[in-house]
Structure 1
Amino acid sequence: MSGHLNGRLSAFAGTGRLVTLGLRRSRVMLVVWVYALTAYAASTAYGFKKLYDTPASLHDFVAGINGNGAAVAMYGRIHVTASIGGITAWRMAAIGGLLAGVMSVLLVVRHTRGDEEAGRLELVGAGVVGRRAPLTAGLLVGVIANLALAVLSFLALISIGLPVAGSLATGLAWTIPGLCAVAAAGVTAQVAETAQAARTLALAALGVAYLLRAIGDAGRVAWLTWVTPIGWAEQVRAFGGERWWLLALGPAVALVLVAVAYALVERRDLGGGLLAARTGPAEAAPYLNGPLGLAWRLQRGALLAWAAGFAVYGAAVGGILKGIGDLAKDSSDMQDMFARMGGRGSLEDSYTAAMMGIIGMLAAAYAVQVVLRMRTEETAQRLEPLLATRVRRVRWSIGHLLFAVAGPALLLAVAGLTAGLAHGLRVHDLGGQLPRLLGAALVQAPATWVAAAIAVLLFGAVPRLAAAAWGVLGAFLLLGQLGPVLRLSQAVMDLSPFTHVPKLPGGEATATPILALTAVAAVIAAAGLVSLRRRDIG
């Protein structure tokens, strides 16, 4: 018994130090995610409290959402219909649960398969570190992030004046999909041989869970909702007779998946995965003979995955548009908020412009990810051998920057096309609505380029702070979402490049702000490239 106990203890030796190291390395990423999601919870509650201050307006909003199939598929069905807390918990359950899952996957894969692929675990393993310690540390970092999110969102909701019990249930509901995603990422990190593949598998599972929940809610197929962690978060029904027992399902499933991950880690070699990588061709494809081809090889998987997500999101936005007038017709505050976010056109046009602004920020997130992939190549020590050839720094970086420019434009086009198709078919005006919504999406591109350029500047000038680009993007997002609700001054709102984008459809389509944003992005990116040429690599 003693030997068995000592064996178990040695398998986890060094876990505490690795957790401390993981939290330190991910401090920017973790703080940005937790801060942004907490702000999302607080702004949602505050906005609903201001917009629906009468029982009649609240009733009309709930009836409008539950009667719109596209809205139900996107956000879920509202079960607690008679309180601000109820619609706040509804809004956070599906979308918030999905985002908490994405945060968890990125954190866990980074500190497990990502470190292993980069060779860091091989160096760490040469010390007093147990076989299971790296996996355990990665899982604990994800758990800590989810618990911090639960506590801070609980505090944010009660500070706004929502009941304590419902606020606690809402905060803990984040942890259901979050903890399941933590454990699922731990499993995929053992199955896949690369960090990219591990992330893809875990995010695909998360996407399937969201899709099943959407089909279950929109199609009233209740059992589909009950087989997904995101559905469990929705069914907690905070602020309306909380189902506390559902909060145990997430940790229970997570423990089962963690046991699977521990079993798998004992059955594979360090650096290998249960799914062996395919043997590559003897000679590289002709398109790989240059930095642009290499960038395409590294970026194509993420681009295709983002494009699929944008297609679904665009279709959901287009499907909601026809009924948006009924949701806000009796709320002057809601109409004013949409006008501040999307311009002073018709209510439908204002809402469309506001949604396109959110789509633009999502495209900017892709652009930032593309730029930060260059930092990953550097820290993984794959860049230095490449630059030892005839490839120069700027030429190498431009290969990636082309994706940071063309990629967001492509994603916006995909979202605009699917939104135009969905809305055009519903109102029997495909020829008129498709170009309107496509233009409203594409006009966001220059603002995404500014966000990407800031990431380039940070990468080139202060590479250790390159991840702070996520914080900058988070600030833009908060200004776009909180600004209209809090009625911030225009000077503060103007700090975000998205504020300067023409509010289409319905607004005036002028070239001046588009050209100005493009010029600003070009200047900032150029400064970043100059800094990159002058600094040490690695």
Structure 2
Amino acid sequence: MTGTGSLVRLALRRDRLVLPLWVLVTAMLPIVQTTGIAELYPTEQGLRRFAASFGANPAMEALLGPIQHWNAAAMGVWRAAFIPVVLALASLLTVIRHTRVEEETGRRELLGSAVVGRNAGLTAALTVTVAANLAVGLIIVATFAGRGYALAGALATGLGYAVVGTVFAAVGAVAAQLTESASGARAIAASVLGGTYLLRMAGDSTGAAWLSWLSPIAWAQQMRPFAGEVWWPALLAAVAAAALSGVAYALTGRRDVAAGVLPPGLGPAQAAPGFGSLWALAWRLHRGTLLGWSAGLAVFGAVVGGAAQDAAGAMAGNAQLREMMARLGGESNISDSFLATVVGVFGIAVSGYAVQAALRARGEETLGRAEPLLSGAVSRTRWMASHLVFALLGPVVVLAVLGLAIGAAYGAGSGDLAGQLPRVTGAALAQLPAVWSLAALAAALFGLLPRLAGLTWAALAMFLLLGQVGALLGLPAAALDLSPFSHLLKLPGGEVTATPLLVLTAIAAALLAIGLHGFRRRDTG
């Protein structure tokens, strides 16, 4: 453990911008959702009707889990049920960043040549991430208690968030030991997160409730904040986190630095005929991420599309809920409002893929793999474009798969497959200009200010926050207009106009041009 304190300070310095951002965003959303619901439904009768409408809806139960109680605080925590998933993702990525990425870039070996123990890096990464999760929990407790809500419920909410993040920090620690690449570790950890979320969805929306107990995400819900708190699921999460951390420490002692426990597969002796181009290399680097996103959204799209009819029935008898959904989504009917809201949320999620693909060029540069290519007969523009094509065309594929999955499931359930399939697919593809804007912002920062390229994630988090709670809180139009997603068409069901799509596309094109021009003029490294 020698040198752990110094590595903790180093990790905090490197994450001085990103770490406070995801801590504050995830910590503030529960109270923001609660405040919005309390303002929309100021009476007990309204809250009961709101809870009853959603409580009988299997679609919302699958997406967010069961409603534990009708009071505003319990409903706010339920409405923010996807935030622990975001917290879990941030936690596992943080651990991988300070463990496997450090080894892949060679920095861990340099540090290891000094007075630094073998377990210091893993311990520092877990310490920083667990401390961040505890900070999230404490902020949640303070915000709810400060607004006069029950202290026990506030403690259960904060503790639930903290233990979910801690469990997936340990998942990230184990994944970092298995492969020799950071991208492989992220894929393993993200697959575990997606699988546990699907287990929770299956357990909460079917008769097999025991499946939810296999998901750490559900353990926070089982603590029943503001609904007669139950504390022992936190102990279950603590045991799981400790066991996974123990596995990570055991594995790190069984492998060499920069190596993984799982041996890398040997490639063929002769390269395939089509693997001799820059575009083939880019496909090799991006294909796993593209296929993974496409498969995941196909599953989620099928679930959402199949439940859209039930969601429409649940909203039909609630005028306030219809108004809220119309402000967030489509405007023609209840089903379209629900579908437009869901498509909009997934559009922001797909922006995460676009940013990830655009920043892959930055990863190749920092790992030293770009310079050998650029020293040959490869222009900087072609090399950067080989990555940007996946940031631009990849979202087309992912959103098309999402739209086809939702449209097919919804169309089959409503008996109008031929009519709904193109409508919903078009609505999904209408998210592209905003998604391209985020990818282009990442490209512009990479070309001009590569050290600040990671701030694109901060922009995405801000847009997510505005989209989720801005309309509910009645924020001014100037604030909502900061997000490119606020300018998109509300489809299916809304009026189709080309102007916002063209303007956003033009902005994205300008940012891409700036990024390409900047990369041509700056030094690499």
Normalised to the residue count of structure 2, the TM-score between the two structures is: 0.95
1:228-243 correspondence runs (5 A): 228-243=215-230
State how many pairs are aligned: 525
Q: Distance in 1 between matches of 2:315 and 2:350?
A: 27
Question: Contact 2:35–2:76 (CA<8 Å) still a contact in 1?
Answer: no
> Which of 344, 357, 367 is equivalent to 2:331?
344
Q: Distance in 2 between matches of 1:478 and 1:188?
A: 29
1:131-150 correspondence runs (5 A): 131-150=118-137
| Matching residue of 2:72 | 84
Q: Distance in 2 between matches of 1:391 and 1:154?
A: 55
> Which of 66, 85, 91 is equivalent to 2:55?
66
Within the alignment, does 1:420 sit opposite 2:407 as a pair?
Answer: yes
AA aligned opposite 2:66: R
CA deviation map 1:117-157 (0-9, x unaligned)? 11111111011100111111121122122112212233333
| Matching residue of 1:186 | 173
> Which of 29, 32, 44 is equivalent to 1:55?
44
Q: Taking structure 1 as reference, are residues 474 and 291 closer, same or farther at Cα in structure 2, changes over 3 Å only?
A: same
Question: Contact 2:136–2:161 (CA<8 Å) still a contact in 1?
Answer: yes
CA deviation map 1:173-208 (0-9, x unaligned)? 012221111112211211222212222222222222
Question: Contact 1:424–1:432 (CA<8 Å) still a contact in 2?
Answer: yes
Measured after TM superposition, the shift of residue 159 of structure 1 is 4.2
Measured after TM superposition, the shift of residue 275 of structure 1 is 0.7
| Matching residue of 1:532 | 519
Q: Distance in 1 between matches of 2:308 and 2:50?
A: 14
Secondary structure of 1:322 counterpart: helix
Q: Distance in 2 between matches of 1:312 and 1:61?
A: 28
Measured after TM superposition, the shift of residue 248 of structure 1 is 2.0
Secondary structure of 1:153 counterpart: helix
Secondary structure of 1:488 counterpart: coil
Within the alignment, does 1:282 sit opposite 2:269 as a pair?
Answer: yes
Q: Distance in 2 between matches of 1:40 and 1:407?
A: 30
Question: Contact 2:463–2:485 (CA<8 Å) still a contact in 1?
Answer: yes
Q: Distance in 2 between matches of 1:43 and 1:374?
A: 36
> Which of 27, 32, 38 is equivalent to 1:38?
27
Measured after TM superposition, the shift of residue 160 of structure 1 is 4.3
> Which of 243, 246, 249 is equivalent to 1:256?
243
Q: Taking structure 1 as reference, are residues 69 and 354 closer, same or farther at Cα in structure 2, changes over 3 Å only?
A: closer
Question: Contact 2:445–2:452 (CA<8 Å) still a contact in 1?
Answer: yes
> Which of 82, 85, 89 is equivalent to 1:98?
85
CA deviation map 1:267-317 (0-9, x unaligned)? 111121111001122333333322222211111111111112211222233
Secondary structure of 1:226 counterpart: helix
Question: Contact 2:407–2:417 (CA<8 Å) still a contact in 1?
Answer: yes
AA aligned opposite 1:74: L
1:109-148 correspondence runs (5 A): 109-148=96-135
Secondary structure of 1:485 counterpart: coil
Question: Contact 2:7–2:120 (CA<8 Å) still a contact in 1?
Answer: yes
Question: Contact 1:52–1:331 (CA<8 Å) still a contact in 2?
Answer: no
| Matching residue of 1:8 | none
Question: Contact 1:14–1:130 (CA<8 Å) still a contact in 2?
Answer: yes
| Matching residue of 2:15 | 26
Measured after TM superposition, the shift of residue 161 of structure 1 is 4.2
AA aligned opposite 2:509: A
RMSD: 1.8
| Matching residue of 1:172 | 159
AA aligned opposite 1:377: E
| Matching residue of 2:307 | 320
Within the alignment, does 1:487 sit opposite 2:478 as a pair?
Answer: no
1:467-478 correspondence runs (5 A): 467-478=454-465
AA aligned opposite 1:274: V
Measured after TM superposition, the shift of residue 437 of structure 1 is 0.8
Question: Contact 2:403–2:426 (CA<8 Å) still a contact in 1?
Answer: yes
Measured after TM superposition, the shift of residue 446 of structure 1 is 0.8
1:514-529 correspondence runs (5 A): 514-529=501-516
- The gaps in structure 2 that reach 5 residues or longer are none
Measured after TM superposition, the shift of residue 235 of structure 1 is 0.5
Secondary structure of 2:471 counterpart: helix
AA aligned opposite 1:366: Y
Measured after TM superposition, the shift of residue 33 of structure 1 is 2.1
Question: Contact 2:57–2:311 (CA<8 Å) still a contact in 1?
Answer: no
* Identity in percent: 47
Question: Contact 1:349–1:505 (CA<8 Å) still a contact in 2?
Answer: yes
> Which of 361, 369, 381 is equivalent to 2:368?
381
Q: Distance in 2 between matches of 1:254 and 1:461?
A: 41
Q: Taking structure 1 as reference, are residues 329 and 362 closer, same or farther at Cα in structure 2, changes over 3 Å only?
A: same
Secondary structure of 2:359 counterpart: helix
Q: Distance in 2 between matches of 1:153 and 1:202?
A: 26
Q: Taking structure 1 as reference, are residues 204 and 31 closer, same or farther at Cα in structure 2, changes over 3 Å only?
A: same
415-424 or 54-63: bigger deviation: 54-63
Q: Distance in 1 between matches of 2:463 and 2:474?
A: 15
Question: Contact 1:424–1:430 (CA<8 Å) still a contact in 2?
Answer: yes
| Matching residue of 1:218 | 205
Q: Taking structure 1 as reference, are residues 58 and 330 closer, same or farther at Cα in structure 2, changes over 3 Å only?
A: farther
Q: Distance in 1 between matches of 2:408 and 2:40?
A: 30
> Which of 368, 383, 390 is equivalent to 2:377?
390
Question: Contact 2:56–2:314 (CA<8 Å) still a contact in 1?
Answer: no
Q: Distance in 1 between matches of 2:448 and 2:239?
A: 46
Measured after TM superposition, the shift of residue 250 of structure 1 is 1.5
Within the alignment, does 1:361 sit opposite 2:361 as a pair?
Answer: no
Normalised to the residue count of structure 1, the TM-score between the two structures is: 0.93
Measured after TM superposition, the shift of residue 411 of structure 1 is 1.3
Q: Distance in 1 between matches of 2:421 and 2:147?
A: 41
Q: Distance in 2 between matches of 1:161 and 1:345?
A: 39
Q: Distance in 2 between matches of 1:360 and 1:206?
A: 20
AA aligned opposite 2:341: A
Measured after TM superposition, the shift of residue 111 of structure 1 is 0.9
Q: Distance in 1 between matches of 2:36 and 2:278?
A: 47
| Matching residue of 1:502 | 489
Measured after TM superposition, the shift of residue 329 of structure 1 is 4.0
Q: Taking structure 1 as reference, are residues 51 and 229 closer, same or farther at Cα in structure 2, changes over 3 Å only?
A: same
Q: Taking structure 1 as reference, are residues 154 and 16 closer, same or farther at Cα in structure 2, changes over 3 Å only?
A: same
Question: Contact 1:45–1:160 (CA<8 Å) still a contact in 2?
Answer: no
Question: Contact 2:312–2:338 (CA<8 Å) still a contact in 1?
Answer: no
